[in-house]
Amino acid sequence: MKKALSVDKGLLVGIVIFVLFIIVGLFAKWIAPHPPLAIQLDVRLQPPSVEYWFGTDHLGRCIFSRIIYGVQTTITTAIAITLITLLISLPIGLVSGYWRGRADQFFMRVVDGTLSLPDVVLTIAIVGILGPGFVNMVIAIVLVRWANYVRFIRSLAIKAGKEEFILSARMSGNSHLSILRKYIFPQIKKPVFVFIALDLGRVVLLMAGLSFLGLGVQPPTPEWGVMLHDATSYFQLAPHIMIFPGLAILLFVLCCQLTSERLKKET
Q: Provide the whole-model pTM.
A: 0.86
Q: Are 78 and 207 in contact (CB under 8 A)?
A: yes
- Residue 100 gets the label, from left (phi > 0), alpha (psi -120 to 50) or beta, of left
pLDDT at 169 over 80: no
- pLDDT tens-digit profile of 3-30? 444 456 777 888 888 889 989 888 988 9
- pLDDT tens-digit profile of 71-109? 988 888 999 999 999 999 998 888 888 777 777 788 788
What secondary structure does DSSP assign to 94-162, as a single string? HHHHHH-HHHHHHHHHHHHHHHTS-HHHHHHHHHHHH-SSHHHHHHHHHHHHHHHHHHHHHHHHHHHHT
Confidence (pLDDT) at 67? 93
pLDDT at 156 over 80: yes
pLDDT-based confidence at 266, cuts 50/70/90? Answer: low
pLDDT-based confidence at 114, cuts 50/70/90? Answer: confident
Cα gap 252→14, rounded to integer Å: 9
pLDDT at 1 over 60: no
Q: CA nearest 211: which of 120, 81, 76, 114?
A: 120
Percent of the chain past pLDDT 70, that is, above it, reads: 94
Confidence (pLDDT) at 267? 60
Phi, psi for 28 (deg, rounded to 5): -60, -35
Cα gap 83→146, rounded to integer Å: 11
- pLDDT tens-digit profile of 198-251? 899 999 999 999 998 888 888 888 899 999 998 888 888 889 999 999 999 999
Confidence (pLDDT) at 3? 47
Lowest mean pLDDT among 206-210, 252-256, 258-262: 258-262
Cα gap 119→16, rounded to integer Å: 29
Percent of the chain past pLDDT 90, that is, above it, reads: 30
Cα gap 44→59, rounded to integer Å: 5
Give residues with Cβ within 8 angstroms of 79, minimum separation 6: 200
What totals of helices (H) and strands (E) does the chain contain, helices first? 11, 0
